[in-house]
Amino acid sequence: MIVKEIVSQFASNTLGNGCVIFRCNFDVAQYSDTQFFYYNVPFHNSLINAVPKRRAEFLAGRYCAQQALLKLGIHNTFVGVGKNRNPIWPTDIVGSISHDKDNAIAIVKPETSQNSIIGVDIERWIGKDELQDMRKMIINEEEYWLLMKAGLDTTQAITLGFSAKESFFKAAYKIVNEYFGFEEAQITAIHRSAHGGFLKLNISDSLKTKLPSRTEFKVSFFFESERVLTICNH
């Protein structure tokens, strides 16, 4: 598997608060188990029965995480796996990992307070045959028309809604420590720039009791030809 770093315009436009991002592309067709040793990433027990595609995605994601940590000056540290397959980061670090079929990305930052959170998602555009089913699951009518009025098409609106809420879920999981549905966060505003922008999410009353530091969260996004990237950083 060939892993190659990607320097993304998205990173330079959105990072702050000491954040570091590392992104790469990879080729599943060239994957072999020996590459865990080559890239110095431990082969986790959860991968024993996994197909090569899943192993390659895990390797690429953890490689990105280790490279991002290196940029923070953290050496010889492996990112563990939690009970719900969530990454376990070193003490005083928060981070997030995402991948699609040939891209992986990791973002990390120092944990400046107990409420420091971060989440990242990279998502290929949802196929037309899946759009309507996904729409019902991800966003309500109010959210849909808010995004459409901002000039997005249906594919962009639904994929962005999904990715933004995934980034928020990954960020909030550190504190909430349990799964919750897409309906627990509602898109209330969108601000666009040339290639992206940011959304605002308002959270449900039940989440407010678990995330007492704020009721509104900002998610930055960046559009590419094949995918959207989102980051929730607070």
Its sign, for the CA torsion 137, 138, 144, 146, is positive
Is position 214 annotated in a ligand binding site? no
What is the distance between the alpha carbons of residues 64 and 21, in angstroms, rounded to a whole number? 8
CA 43 to chain centre: 22
Is position 57 annotated in a ligand binding site? no
Yes or no: say if 24 and 103 are a contact pair by the CB < 8 Å rule. yes
Is position 98 annotated in a ligand binding site? yes
DSSP secondary structure letters along 133-165: HHHHHH--HHHHHHHHHTT--HHHHHHHHHHHH
DSSP character at residue 30: G
Structure tokens at 128: 């037309």
Q: Which residues pair with 196 in a beta bridge?
A: 222
Is position 99 annotated in a ligand binding site? yes
Is position 167 annotated in a ligand binding site? no
Is position 44 annotated in a ligand binding site? no
Yes or no: say if 211 and 190 are a contact pair by the CB < 8 Å rule. no
What is the distance between the alpha carbons of residues 24 and 147, in angstroms, rounded to a whole number? 29
Yes or no: say if 131 and 158 are a contact pair by the CB < 8 Å rule. yes
Is position 123 annotated in a ligand binding site? yes
Closest CA to 53 of 107, 113, 109, 100: 100
Is position 93 annotated in a ligand binding site? no
Is position 124 annotated in a ligand binding site? no
Three-class SS state of 129: helix
Detail the residues annotated as belonging to a binding site for Mg(2+): 121-123
Detail the residues annotated as belonging to a binding site: 54, 62, 98-99, 121-123, 166, 170
Detail the residues annotated as belonging to a binding site for CoA: 54, 62, 98-99, 121, 166, 170
